[in-house]
């Protein structure tokens, strides 16, 4: 009788152990096909109203759904990236497209890029002011020209010839972003007065945004091909035609999408650096992307990035208080996060 009880107990333990191993294996083998970000920065739960939090979650979820639908239907990772980013460009919540921040001259100057991981083809636009969806303009540069980057008026002329939707610059005006510019201009004025005291360095002060709202997407299609896209309005109160990392292949995008203080991503070739660490250093996507964000942090920069590898492993490191982000698995399971 005792032997029978022990045998039964042992059998049960073995079954539980087997189930645990199966669950662990299943968890380990989760395959992600799409990840997005909506910017990183000082994003704190205490500063977020319930209604605004719900709005962000809804917008991120819609972007994931639109991108996933393309993957599910067997369309390319590039198509999925465009679909997801277009949702965020059309939302005033993010610093891209409709929600773009203002330059010091009170304009909205938009940058975007897209890259095909298989062929390394890429397209980018910078400083456009009338293209409704800059990510589509970047795709057009990649697919319809022999170039990688176009800027300002030239990029706008090209976009018109490709039949992309053109809007009046007023379309990008939002009260929230305008108020943000006014605050930045006031801070600039105060800082200039302090500069006359002779106690500041010769370099102009940098007022970091409370939130970097750049948007991005990385996708893995059924053929095993990766693509990534990034779109942004830049930094509030930017001057002199400043361009950040988002449209620069190898810095803000290299089949990886970055968000943060662009100058540091350019200096470290951040997006390419992740790829190089994986290729030459044999690091996995999580280790490589975290190491690059850590390097940016040591230099004084902040932000984050999203990355997928060819096996569907995802990494979304950031060194700020939060980053709007989300993932969808091969089975369509969606997860959205905001805070650290």
- Catalytic (active-site) positions: 214
Beta-carbon-side half-sphere exposure of residue 66 (alpha carbons within 13 Å)? 18
Residue count (the chain): 340
Task: Quote the strand ranges of 134-285, DSSP E.
Answer: 149-151, 211-212, 215-220, 226-232, 257-260
The whole-angstrom separation of Cα 99 and Cα 173 is 8
The whole-angstrom separation of Cα 71 and Cα 10 is 45
Closest CA to 287 of 269, 309, 266: 309
Closest CA to 211 of 4, 9, 40: 40
Question: Exposure string (b/e) for 161-187, b if CB count within 10 Å is 16 or more?
Answer: ebebeeeeeeebbbeebeebbeebeee
The whole-angstrom separation of Cα 186 and Cα 208 is 14
Q: Listing from the earlier edge strand, what are the strands of the sheet with 257-260?
A: 257-260, 303-308, 314-315
- Spatial neighbors of 58 by CB under 8 A, at least 6 apart, are none
- Spatial neighbors of 143 by CB under 8 A, at least 6 apart, are 123
């Amino acid at each position: 009788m005792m032997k029978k009880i022990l045998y039964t107990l042992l059998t049960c333990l073995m079954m539980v152990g087997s189930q645990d191993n199966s669950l662990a294996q299943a968890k380990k083998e989760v395959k992600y096909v799409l990840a997005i970000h909506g910017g990183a920065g000082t994003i704190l739960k205490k500063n977020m109203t319930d209604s605004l939090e719900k709005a962000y979650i809804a917008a991120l979820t819609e972007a994931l759904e639109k991108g996933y639908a393309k993957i599910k239907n067997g369309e390319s990772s590039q198509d999925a990236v465009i679909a997801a980013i277009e949702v965020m460009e059309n939302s005033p919540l993010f610093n891209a497209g409709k929600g773009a921040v203002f330059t010091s001259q009170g304009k909205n100057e938009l940058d975007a890029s897209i890259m095909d991981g298989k062929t390394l083809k890429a397209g980018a636009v910078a400083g456009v002011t009338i293209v409704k969806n800059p990510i589509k303009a970047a795709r057009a540069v990649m697919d319809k020209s022999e170039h990688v980057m176009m800027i300002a008026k030239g990029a706008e002329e090209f976009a018109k010839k490709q039949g992309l939707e053109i809007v009046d610059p007023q379309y990008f005006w939002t009260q929230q972003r305008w108020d943000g510019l006014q605050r930045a201009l006031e801070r600039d004025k105060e800082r200039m007065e302090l500069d006359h005291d002779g106690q500041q360095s010769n370099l102009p002060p940098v007022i970091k945004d409370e939130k970097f709202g750049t948007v991005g997407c990385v996708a893995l299609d059924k053929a095993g091909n990766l693509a990534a896209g990034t779109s942004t309005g830049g930094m509030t109160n930017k001057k002199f035609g400043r361009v950040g990392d988002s449209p620069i292949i190898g810095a803000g995008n290299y089949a990886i999408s970055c968000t943060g203080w662009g100058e540091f991503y350019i200096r470290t070739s951040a997006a390419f650096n992740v790829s190089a660490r994986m290729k030459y250093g044999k690091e996995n996507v999580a280790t490589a992307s975290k190491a690059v964000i850590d390097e940016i942090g040591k230099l004084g920069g902040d932000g984050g990035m999203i990355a997928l590898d060819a096996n569907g492993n995802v990494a979304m490191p950031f060194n700020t208080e939060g980053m709007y982000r989300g993932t969808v698995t091969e089975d369509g399971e969606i997860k959205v996060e905001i805070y650290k």
